[in-house]
Amino acid sequence: MEPRMSAVASIDRDDWERDRLAALQRFDILDSPREEPFDRITRLIRSIFGVSTGIVSMIDGHRQWYKSADGSDRSEVPVQDTFCRFPLASGESLVVPDAKADMRFADNPNVTSGGVGFYAGVPLRTTDGHVIGTVCAIDPQPRDFSARELKILEDLALITMNELDLRQRATVDVLTGALSRRAFKEEGARAVALASRHHHALACLVLDLDHFKSVNDGFGHAAGDKVLADVIKSCVALLRQSDLIGRLGGEEFAVLLPLTDRTQAIEVAEKLRQAIADLVFNFDGQNLPVTCSFGVAVLDGATPDIESLLERADAALYAAKQAGRNRVVAAEPAPEAIRTNARRVLKAGRIIFNNRASLVNCTVRWMSDEGAGMDVTGSFGIPSRFTLAIRSDGFECPCEVVASTDRHIEVRFT
């Protein structure tokens, strides 16, 4: 059972969570594609300690999200079920040699049915002292974990934070020459502001190499690097100097096209898609075809900033992959609605319903004067009307659901 907190302690805790999420937001890493530097760390965790699973994770308002998980096919888990919420709260490393023998975890679903027998976790701490996630080692069998092993895991956590800091400061992706994720978004924000001010068209493409993991697995990372570099080189050759191209992470890239409407953007995406499909790669005497899927979105009143523009293009990309890959899908024009003048946030929220008897944790990702969008572990069972509370802001408002997916809900304030 969680200890009860005084009103003062609760307020302090809300402030702590607000500041922690603000620190996490600065790194702009949530829901980004997998990246080799972090995959390398989780592989090292497995090989050094001989455990079944190594994880690098970030923790937002409602979930533990895996930036890399070697030995697990899960991408996230509800934060209330995780061992990692203890290092998150205490800021200290945690070792659980035998989870079934530990009163804190014996009834945890990850122990009773998830196969966790051993856990070691180290918090990921920013330079200003905020814990944004964890690095952890997990195994189904109970085992000892020496002080020397814990020090190695703590060093891997420091290496992870160094990689996050480098990632945040970088402006150019060394491998492909594309802008880094942060630099692309900064340049994109300026392009969006300019287009909005002068009422110019602006389009965004998000592209992702199809089945890229099979290239790395079958031919090695050197081959994968060459494919990425050549793909982006072929794209740059077809783009204008005024166009921006950035690497969002892994094999996912984005292109910003100033003075380009929806029809023109689809034409550009088709041209790039065909150029990539025409590339010829040969590794170990074997020809390797490479294709790419594209999502397209355009700036409009309901897509007012670079984040929402990328979000809609990424949703169209997902539809392209679901439809069979190696194709272009454009997002339908969005209606003017609750997203007008929306601002990006990262706040811990609570969905309250059933006469305040039921509560679901969520992470609020954007807010406007008219509504909000939030991520949840699962939307099943959440009613069409509920109250949204953000304790750190002293905010509470009745809402009506206007759109939802399995893990995202958009509401209008009522």
For 43-67, the pLDDT digits (tens) are 999 999 999 999 999 999 999 999 9
Same domain, 93 and 162: yes
Same domain, 75 and 165: yes
Give me the CATH number covering residue 409.
2.40.10.220
Out of 148, 169, 190, a domain closes at: 169
Residue 191's nearest CA partner among 229, 231, 246 is: 246
Same domain, 381 and 322: no
Bin 386: left if φ > 0, else alpha if -120 < ψ < 50, else beta. Answer: beta
Q: Is residue 337 part of a domain?
A: no
Same domain, 190 and 220: yes
What pLDDT is stored for residue 334 in this prediction?
59
Full domain range(s) for residue 63: 7-169
Same domain, 223 and 356: no
Same domain, 265 and 143: no
Number of domains in the chain: 3
Same domain, 216 and 124: no
**Percentage of residues in the chain with pLDDT exceeding 90?**
81
Give me the CATH number covering residue 47.
3.30.450.40
Q: Is residue 174 part of a domain?
A: no
What pLDDT is stored for residue 163 in this prediction?
95
Same domain, 353 and 291: no
Out of 330, 356, 376, a domain closes at: 330
Out of 144, 169, 194, a domain closes at: 169
Residue 72's nearest CA partner among 80, 62, 87, 82 is: 82
Q: State the residue for tokens 């702009």.
A: 28
Query: For residues 273 and 363, what is the distance between their CA atoms, to the nearest angstrom?
Result: 35
For residue 146, give the amino acid letter: S
**Percentage of residues in the chain with pLDDT exceeding 70?**
96
What pLDDT is stored for residue 304 in this prediction?
76
**pLDDT reading at 3 higher than 80:** no
Residue 144's nearest CA partner among 175, 120, 168, 177 is: 120
pLDDT-derived band of residue 113, with 50, 70 and 90 as boundaries? confident
Q: Where are the beta strands (DSSP E) in 38-117?
A: 53-59, 63-70, 76-78, 94-96
Residue 85's nearest CA partner among 136, 157, 29 is: 136
* Interval 53-105: pLDDT, tens: 999 999 999 999 999 999 999 999 999 989 999 999 999 999 999 999 999 99
Tokens of 105: 């975890």
Strands in 202-209's sheet, in edge-to-edge order, are 244-249, 252-258, 202-209, 292-298, 328-330
